């Protein structure tokens, strides 16, 4: 049946049709929907793992047990899973194992713009790169064949434009996969030096065999053009930009497998054109490969290694004309994302700013506490870095920093990799105060369950990690719980814990305001008679409050009645 | 046929994704090649959001570039103004005249430009600005702005009301179906 599918949904469909039985992932934009979609198929066991390393190791375990397995993550998640990745290259698989990784060129929702293709080359694991949903579905099925044929995990590299674009796919039926028998094989699965030394040449031989496969496969295909003055090598969404900009004008070598790359096929293609150009986003990965083949090639001299490309860019840089529309001759104010009305994080950041603390931040919606008017966050690096960073900050900063700095981290991020930092705080005894912003969901990626919520990916009730007990268990004696809507108490508790002289955790607990089960009191009103226009309520950056003719006005379509602004009004004008 | 392009722009949380889902369904049913590109994640939190809908005999790029949009369907008028460079010569903007202040305006760091509908028209763009929020409220919910705008957009398509209704039925939850159909009809006749 023909249907429209997101690239991510199409990967999920391909996994399903190929008989995938086991999926373990950690959410991350733009990869999240692969796992959410595959979880809807009853035949597939799917779960959210605490982090990407756990997910990949679980998927390897399932592969060894003999079932086709899968694991998805965003580009930065692959950093977390890099440890198992590099050694899975040596162990190979039993049943097929696919790792989906989604890059975010343009950083729509990420903290860096790393190019995951380097991981394929560095770990010596083959990587397929679909350019639309139909290929995403096809490549997912093909990846299992490759995985079992060449005894290797296979990476499928997505990007925002492929993951989050819907295009037409033709779906098929599921082919049940007969579970493979697990056989003990220490030489293959125990990677201690003596065994690993024997496996490494196998890995190199596999890359050579895959290179031969890359020469033959039709997913690396040449599309003939009318004008051989220029030939373009491209892949992924850039292939679509090239075809949109130039149609059948120039010959194109479209690579569906990005690692290992063919050698002869590229040389043969280069020989048929006057000028060779690589069109690729981020780093000059294909371009570098062409250079190692001794070819003269253009690429990053034309196209930036920063941000996304587009059809206009491809047109313009290759000598075409582009006509843009008219622009308004005035400043259009930016519309950055903001914390939602009623967000339980807002008031905590207000208090932190009021106390003028150094705040080490983390990855999640609450990173928005960094922007004006709250402006309360000092650092954001990666998952968990707030807690571990705070330890170093107060150890090195001494008494002055101890009472003046905190870490803030969400519930899901804390489980992902904050807890190890907290163990370090307890073990190495830093006088640190960690605030866990427990909104009972993984918010930023669109409401995924996690080990603290009491529900699993399929929506069934399950074991719920008790954050208080966990913190106590790792050696933190002082654990306090506050309601972030009660700002007076929050301020008091934060001050007490900063003064305490030993490590402490404050759990700021209130569910995300967007969760369907959360009942709100409803919008409040502002009283223009009482409002003095002092703008105290504007300091929390709530999108539901604005100043109109010098008076605070509440947008009733946004306000949920959280009551935080009421606590700031000295004139009783809000309520 | 030449590929047709509609950009759907608005503020995160306004329901732009439903509009693109509905259009995609309708166009696929008509036998076109279709691509719909969405933005998820961070920018959904009250930020500026863009969705691209493209259809034709063969559609390559999932995105619409500057100078290519036949129409911008805008859920908020500042967002329409942000993307004028994307409109083709002779192109159209259908816009909900509602003003939603972005944080820099709320915080007093920037001003919300005035008379935007007139300024857009002065660029040679066909502008259809109307109060979709009031019509949505009349239909029963301020959240139905998306269906009001769809109704307005339908006037520029040759699809039958039955075809639109089939796409709506497929795209919205049953308990909100009547409300959404009413919103669509109000947009269509406005």
Domain boundaries, chain A: 2-177+186-216, 220-317, 345-509, 519-575
pLDDT at B44: 62
Whole-angstrom distance, CA of residue A138 vs CA of residue A129: 11
Query: From the list B24, B66, B124, which residue is nearest A166 (CB)?
Result: B24
Fold of A519-575: Alpha-Beta Plaits (3.30.70)
Tell me which architecture the domain covering A345-509 has in CATH: 3-Layer(aba) Sandwich (3.40)
Q: In what order do the strands lie in the sheet with A22-25?
A: A45-48, A22-25, A69-74, A97-103, A154-159, A127-128, A257-259
Q: What is the CA radius of gyration of chain B?
A: 16
Architecture of domain A220-317: 3-Layer(aba) Sandwich (3.40)
CATH topology of domain B4-189: Pyruvate-ferredoxin Oxidoreductase; domain 3 (3.40.920)
Edge-first strand listing for the sheet containing A276-279: A220-223, A252-255, A231-235, A276-279
**Burial of residue A469, with CB atoms counted within 10 A of its CB: 0-12 exposed, 13-18 middle, 19 or more buried:** exposed
Q: B interface mutation test: which of A4, A312, A337, A557 has the most B CBs within 10 A?
A: A337
Any CB–CB contact under 8 A between A249 and chain B? no
Interatomic CA distance for residues A30 and A315, integer angstroms:
27
Q: Among the residues of A150-248, which ranges form H helices? A: 160-163, 186-189, 193-216, 236-246
The per-residue DSSP string of A120-174 comes to HHHHT--EE--SSHHHHHHHHHHHHHHHHHTTS-EEEEEEHHHHTEEEEEE----
According to DSSP, the residues that pair with B126 across neighbouring strands are B92
Contact residues for A321 (Cβ-Cβ < 8 A; gap 6+):
A315
Q: How far is residue A76's CA from residue A101's CA, in Å, rounded to a whole number?
A: 9
A30 touches chain B (CB under 8 A): yes
Residue B18 to residue B173: CA distance in whole angstroms: 11
Is the backbone peptide bond immediately before B152 cis, with ω within 30 degrees of 0? no
Contacts of B63 in chain A (CB under 8 A): 161, 310-311
CB–CB of A391/A416 below 8 Å? no
Would you state the pLDDT for residue B41? 61
Angle, CA of A553, A554 and A559, to the nearest 5°: 165
Alpha helical stretches, state H, chain B: 16-29, 77-82, 103-106, 116-122, 132-139, 145-154, 161-171, 177-189
Phi-psi sector, A385: left (phi>0), alpha (psi -120 to 50), beta? alpha
Name the CA dihedral angle for A177, A78, A406, A335, rounded to a multiple of 10 degrees: -100
Q: Is A417 on the interface with B (CB under 8 A)?
A: no
Nearest to A153 by CA among A101, A212, A216, A77: A101
Task: Name the residue among A4, A237, A339 with its Cβ closest to that of B45.
Answer: A339
**pLDDT recorded at residue B1:** 84
Q: Do A332 and B109 touch (CB under 8 A)?
A: no
Closest CA to A233 of A250, A252, A217: A252
Distances (CA, A) of A252 to A157, A270, A275, A315: 20, 10, 12, 14
Q: How do strand A2-6 and strand A165-170 relate by DSSP bridges?
A: antiparallel
Beta carbons within 10 angstroms of residue B46's beta carbon? 24
What residues of chain B, 146 to 175, have a C-beta less than 8 Å from chain A? Answer: none
**What residues of A are in contact with residue B82 (Cβ under 8 Å)?**
332, 335
Q: Say which DSSP state A539 is in.
A: G
Helices (H), A499-536: none
Percent of chain B with pLDDT over 70: 97
Instruction: For an interface test with B, give the residue of A240, A328, A552 to mutate (most B CBs within 10 A).
Output: A328
DSSP state for residue B54 in the 8-state scheme: E
Q: What is the number of other CB atoms lying within 10 angstroms of the CB of residue A399?
A: 10
Give the β-pairing of A97-103 and A69-74: parallel
Question: How many CA atoms lie less than 13 Å away from A186 in the CB half-sphere?
Answer: 3
What was the pLDDT predicted at B43? 57
- Return the pLDDT at A266: 98
Of A165, A244, A337, the CB nearest to B42: A337
Q: Which helix (H) or strand (E) holds A481?
A: strand A478-482
Select from B160, B144, B146 the least CA-distant residue to B26: B160
DSSP sequence for B100-136: ---HHHHTTSS-PPS-HHHHHHHTT-EEEEE-HHHHH
Query: How many Å apart are CA B133 and CA A555, to the nearest integer?
Result: 13
Phi, psi of B48 (to 5 degrees): -75, 125
> Which residues in chain B are contacts of A168 at CB distance < 8 A?
28, 33-34
**DSSP element (H, E) containing A53:** helix A52-64
Residues pairing with A370 in the sheet: none
pLDDT (tens digit per residue) in B1-11:
899 999 999 99
Predicted pLDDT of residue B17? 87
Q: What are phi and psi of A14, to 5 degrees?
A: -60, -40
Burial label, A42 (beta-carbon count in 10 A; 0-12, 13-18, 19+):
exposed
Averaged pLDDT in 10-residue chunks for chain A of 575 residues: 94 98 97 98 98 98 98 98 98 98 94 97 98 98 98 98 97 97 98 98 98 98 98 98 98 98 98 98 98 98 98 98 93 92 97 98 95 94 98 95 96 98 98 97 93 96 98 98 98 97 97 94 96 95 92 92 97 95
Residue B131 has pLDDT above 80, yes or no: yes
A522 touches chain B (CB under 8 A): no
Length of chain A: 575
Predicted structure pTM score: 0.96
Which CATH number is associated with domain A2-177+186-216?
Answer: 3.40.50.970
Model confidence at B42: pLDDT above 80: no
CB B141 within 8 A of CB B177: no
Q: Do A155 and A101 meet the contact criterion of CB atoms below 8 Å apart?
A: yes
The DSSP output letter for B143 is G
- Say whether A345-509 and A220-317 share the same fold: yes
Gap between the Cα atoms of A316 and B121, Å rounded: 28
B48-107 confidence digits (pLDDT tens): 999 999 999 999 999 999 999 999 999 999 999 999 999 999 999 999 999 999 989 988
| DSSP state letter for A180 | P
List the strands of the sheet with A358-360, edge to edge: A358-360, A405-410, A433-438, A504-509, A478-482
Residue A1's pLDDT is 81
Query: Chain A closest CA to B155's CA: distance in Å?
Result: 24
Name chain A contacts of B18, Cβ cutoff 8 Å: none
Using CA atoms, how far residue A27 sits from A22, A78, A331, A522, A543, in Å, is 16, 12, 37, 31, 27
Q: Which of A282, A296, A285 is nearest to A231 (CA)?
A: A296
């Amino acid at each position: 049946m023909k249907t429209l599918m997101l690239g991510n949904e199409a990967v999920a469909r391909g996994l399903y049709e190929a008989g995938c039985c086991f999926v373990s992932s950690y959410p991350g934009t733009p990869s999240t929907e692969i796992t959410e979609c595959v979880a809807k198929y009853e035949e597939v066991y799917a779960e959210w793992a605490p982090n990407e390393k756990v997910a990949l190791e679980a998927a390897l375990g399932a592969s060894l047990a003999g079932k086709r397995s899968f694991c998805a993550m965003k580009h930065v998640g692959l950093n977390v899973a890099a440890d198992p990745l590099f050694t899975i290259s040596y162990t190979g698989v039993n049943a097929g194992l696919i790792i989906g990784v989604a890059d975010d060129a343009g950083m729509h929702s990420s903290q860096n713009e790393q190019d995951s293709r380097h991981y394929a080359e560095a770990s010596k694991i083959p990587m397929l790169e679909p350019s639309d949903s139909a290929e995403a579905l096809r490549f997912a099925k093909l990846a299992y064949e490759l995985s079992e044929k060449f005894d290797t995990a296979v990476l499928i590299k997505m990007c925002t434009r492929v993951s989050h674009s819907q295009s037409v796919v033709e779906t098929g039926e599921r082919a049940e996969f007969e579970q493979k028998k697990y056989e003990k094989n220490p030489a293959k699965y125990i990677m201690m030096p003596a065994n690993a030394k024997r496996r490494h040449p196998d890995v190199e031989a596999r890359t050579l065999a895959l290179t031969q496969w890359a020469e033959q496969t039709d997913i690396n295909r040449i599309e003939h053009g009318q004008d051989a003055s220029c030939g373009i090598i491209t892949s992924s969404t850039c292939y679509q930009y090239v075809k949109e900009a130039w149609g059948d004008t120039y010959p194109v070598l479209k690579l569906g497998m990005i690692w290992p790359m063919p050698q002869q096929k590229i040389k043969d293609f280069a020989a048929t054109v006057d000028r060779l150009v690589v069109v690729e986003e981020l780093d000059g990965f294909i371009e570098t490969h062409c250079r190692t083949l001794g070819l003269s090639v253009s690429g990053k001299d034309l196209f930036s290694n920063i941000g996304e490309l587009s059809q206009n860019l491809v047109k313009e840089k290759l000598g075409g004309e582009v006509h843009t529309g008219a622009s308004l001759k005035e400043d259009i104010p930016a519309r950055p994302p903001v914390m939602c009305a009623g967000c339980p994080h807002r008031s905590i950041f207000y208090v932190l700013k009021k106390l003028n603390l150094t705040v080490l931040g983390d990855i999640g919606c609450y990173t928005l506490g960094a922007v004006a008017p709250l402006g309360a966050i000092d650092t954001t690096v990666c998952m968990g870095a707030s807690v571990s960073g705070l330890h170093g900050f107060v150890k090195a900063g001494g008494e002055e920093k101890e009472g003046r700095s905190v870490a803030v981290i969400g519930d899901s991020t804390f489980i992902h990799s904050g807890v190890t930092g907290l163990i370090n705080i307890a073990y190495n005894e830093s006088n640190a105060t960690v605030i866990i912003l427990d909104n009972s969901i993984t918010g930023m990626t669109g409401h995924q369950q996690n080990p603290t919520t009491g529900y699993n990916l399929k929506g069934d009730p399950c074991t719920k990690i008790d954050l208080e007990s966990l913190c106590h268990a790792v050696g933190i004696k002082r654990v306090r719980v506050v309601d972030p809507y009660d700002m007076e108490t929050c301020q008091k508790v934060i001050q007490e814990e900063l003064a305490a002289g030993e490590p402490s955790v404050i759990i700021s607990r209130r569910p995300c305001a967007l969760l369907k089960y959360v009942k709100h009191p409803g919008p409040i009103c502002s009283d223009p008679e009482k409002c003095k226009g002092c703008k105290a309520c504007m300091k929390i950056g709530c999108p539901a409050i604005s100043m109109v003719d010098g008076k605070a006005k509440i947008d009733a379509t946004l306000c949920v009645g959280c009551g935080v602004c009421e606590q700031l009004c000295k004139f009783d004008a809000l309520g | 046929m030449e590929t047709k392009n509609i950009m759907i722009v608005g503020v995160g949380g306004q329901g732009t994704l439903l509009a693109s889902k509905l259009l995609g369904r309708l166009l696929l049913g008509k036998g076109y090649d279709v691509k719909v590109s969405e933005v998820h994640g961070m920018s959904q939190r009250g930020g500026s959001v863009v969705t691209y809908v493209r259809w034709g005999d063969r559609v390559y790029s999932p995105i619409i570039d500057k100078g290519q949009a036949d129409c911008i369907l805008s859920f908020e008028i500042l967002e329409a103004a942000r993307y004028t460079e994307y409109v083709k010569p002779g192109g159209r903007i259908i816009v909900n005249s509602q003003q939603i202040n972005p944080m820099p305006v709320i915080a007093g760091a920037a001003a919300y430009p005035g008379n935007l509908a007139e300024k857009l028209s002065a660029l040679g763009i066909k502008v259809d600005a109307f109060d979709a929020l009031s019509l949505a409220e009349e239909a029963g919910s301020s959240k139905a702005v998306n269906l009001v705008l769809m109704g307005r957009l339908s006037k520029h398509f040759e699809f039958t009301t039955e075809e639109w209704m089939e796409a709506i039925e497929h795209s919205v939850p049953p308990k909100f179906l009547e409300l959404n159909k009413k919103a669509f009809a109000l947009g269509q006749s406005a």
